[in-house]
Structure 1
Amino acid sequence: MRSRWVPYATTPGRLVWQLVSDVLVIIWTVIWVMVGAAVHSAVSTIAAVGRQLNDGAAGVSENLDSAGNRADDVPLIGDSLAGPLRAASEAALDIAGAGHSLDTTASWLAWVLALAVAAPPVLALLMPWLFLRLRFARRKWTVVTLASTAAGEQLLALRALANRPLAKLAAVSTDPVGAWRQQDRVAIRGLAALELRSSGIRAAGIRWDG
C-alpha cells in the first residue's frame, strides 16, 4: 500500500480504521439491500396475484365466448343463451384487464418501495464514507508527490511547523524554525515526516529526493 494511487494509509492506526470502516459500510449496505429485496419480494406477491387473476379471468372469458358461439347454433333459444354468455365473457375480460393492471402497478411499485426503503440509509453512510476516502486519496497523492522533491519536502516541513504540536516539533529539533531556515536536511526531513504521518503516510515508505 505504498503506492500514491492506493487510497489507504500506511500508518497502522489509520489503516485499521479505514479497513474497519470499509467492512462496516459493506455490512450496512448488504443489510439494507436485503431489506429492500424483502420489500420487493413482499410487494411482488401482489403482482403475482394480479397475473393469476389475469390468466384465470382471460381463460374464463375465452371459454364463455366459445360457449356463446356454440349457443348460437341452438334452435329458437340460441340468441337468448348466447347473449348472457357473451356478456359474462366481457365481464371476465374486464376482470382480466384489472388483473393485468394490478400486475403492472404492483411490479412497478415493488421496485419503487424497495429503492425507497434501501437507498436512503445506504446513501446516508456511503456518501460521507466516499467523500472522506476521496479526500484522503487526494491528500495522500499530494503529500507523497511533494515528498519526492526537495522543494516539496521543504513545503511539507513548513506545513509541519505551522500545524504540528510543539512537543513533536521539539522532538525533531531544539530549534525547528532555525533548522528549516538553515535548510538542515535532517531536520527538514524529520519535519516533513511529521506532516506525512499526520496524513496517514509512513515516512519509511517514501522515496526521498537525494
Structure 2
Amino acid sequence: MRLPAGLYAQRRGRMAGQLLADLSMVVWVVLWWFVGRFTQRTIDAIADPLRTSGERAAQLTEQARQAAEQAGRVPGIGSELRKPFDGAVDSLSGVTTAISQQISSIEHAGLLLGWLVFAIPVVILLVIWLPLRVRFVRRARAAQVFIDAQADLDLFALRAMVGQPMHVIAKISDDPVAAWRRGDRDVIRALANAELRRTGLRPPVIDRRDRPA
C-alpha cells in the first residue's frame, strides 16, 4: 500500500514511528469515547429508580382520574365526591412533573460529563500530536519540492552546515565549507543526507555515470 506523499517519512524507521503514533492517537480517541459513554450510562442509571417512580405515579394519576370521572357520575353528589380524586390527580401530576424534571437534569448531567470525560484527554493529546504532524508535513512537502526539482543537493548541504549540530558536521568532514566549495559530491551528499533525515526524506538516487569524474 502506497502512503500519501508528504504525510509520512520515506525512511522506514521514522515512518514506523509515525504510523505507531497515529495509530496510538486513534486508539486513544476510541478508548476515551468508550470511557465517556460508560460514564454517561453510569450516571443515567442513577435515574432508573426515578423512572420507576415516575411510571408508578403516572399510573396512579390515571387511576385517580378514572375514579374522579366515575365519582362525578353519581347523581346529585357527584361533584362533591370527585373533589378528593381531583385533588389527588393534581398532586400526583405535580409529583410526575417533578420526577420528569429530575430525570431530565440527570440525563443532561450524564451527557455533559460523558463528553467532558471524552474531550479533555483527547484534546490534551491532540494539542501535542497535531502540531508535530502538521510541522512535519509542511517541512517534508517543502523539501520534496526541491528534491523533485533538481538532483543537486547543495541547498540541503548548506542548510546542514547552518542547522546541524557541530558534532554531526565533524563526523562528515573536517572542513565541510571547503569541501562544499570545491564540489566534493561525497561530502555534499553526506551533509544533505543529514539534513534530509530531519524531514524523514531520502536523498535522490543519482546514477554513478552522471557523477563528475
TM-score range, shorter chain: 0.7 to 0.9
Question: 2: CA distance between counterparts of 1:157 and 1:118?
Answer: 46
Aligned match of 2:58: 58
The equivalent residue for 2:31 is 31
| Structure 1 residue aligned with 2:89 | 89
SS at match of 2:153: helix
> Does the C-alpha gap of structure 1 residues 48 and 20 become closer, same or farther in structure 2, counting only changes over 3 Å?
same
Distance 2:4 2:32 in 1: 33
SS of the residue 1:144 aligns to: helix
Distance verdict in 2 for CA 1:136–1:28, change over 3 Å? same
Structure 1 residues 4 and 178: CA distance shift in structure 2, 3 A: farther
Q: Percent identity?
A: 34
Residues 86-138 of structure 1, C-alpha deviations (whole Å, 9 max, x = no match): 11011111111112212322221111011122211121112211111111111
Give the Cα–Cα distance (whole angstroms) in 2 for the partners of residues 149 and 184 of structure 1.
21
Change (3 A) 1:119 1:3: closer
User: Matches of 2:165 and 2:20 in 1, distance apart?
Assistant: 28
Structure 2 counterpart of 1:110, one-letter code: G
Residues 149/180 of structure 1: CA separation in 2 closer, same or farther (3 Å cut): farther
Alignment check: 8 A CA contact 1:147 1:156 kept: no
Q: 1:3 to 1:109 in 2, by over 3 A?
A: closer
Relative to structure 1, the CA distance from residue 153 to residue 82 in structure 2 (aligned partners, 3 Å threshold; closer, same or farther) is same
Give the distance between the partners of 1:152 and 1:101, measured in 2 at CA. Answer: 73
* Structure 1 position 166, deviation (Å): 4.4
**Is 1:10–1:201's contact at 8 Å kept on the other side of the alignment?**
yes
Structure 2 match to 1:129: 129
Q: C-alpha offsets along residues 4-41 of structure 1, whole Å, 9 cap, x if unaligned?
A: 73422222332232233223323332332222111110
TM-score scaled by length of structure 1 = 0.82
* Structure 2 CA distance for partners of 1:150 and 1:181, relative to 1, 3 Å: farther
Letter aligned with residue 145 of structure 2: T
Gaps of 5+ in 1: none
1: CA distance, partners of 2:175 / 2:149: 23
Alpha-carbon RMSD across the aligned residues, in angstroms, is 2.9
Q: Tell me, what secondary structure is at the counterpart of 1:160?
A: helix
Is the Cα contact below 8 Å between 1:50 and 1:101 reproduced in 2? no
CA distance 1:46–1:2, shift in 2 (3 Å): closer
Map of 2:169 onto structure 1 = 169
Q: Partner residue of 1:200?
A: 200
* Cα distance in 1, alignment partners of residues 113 and 157 from structure 2: 54
CA distance in 2, matches of 1:71, 1:86: 10
2:132 aligned counterpart, secondary structure: helix
Query: Structure 2: 5+ residue runs without aligned partners?
Result: none
One-letter amino acid of the structure 2 residue matched with residue 27 of structure 1: V
Q: CA, structure 1 residues 31+112, in 2 after alignment: closer, same or farther (shift >3 Å)? A: same
Alignment partner of 2:37: what SS?
helix
* Cα distance, 1:194–1:159 mapped onto 2, change above 3 Å: same
Superposition deviation, residue 68 in structure 1: 0.6
Q: Say which is worse superposed, 118-127 or 84-93, in terms of deviation.
A: 118-127
> 1:43–1:110: 8 Å Cα contact kept in structure 2?
yes
Question: Per the alignment, in what secondary structure is the counterpart of residue 8 of structure 1?
Answer: coil
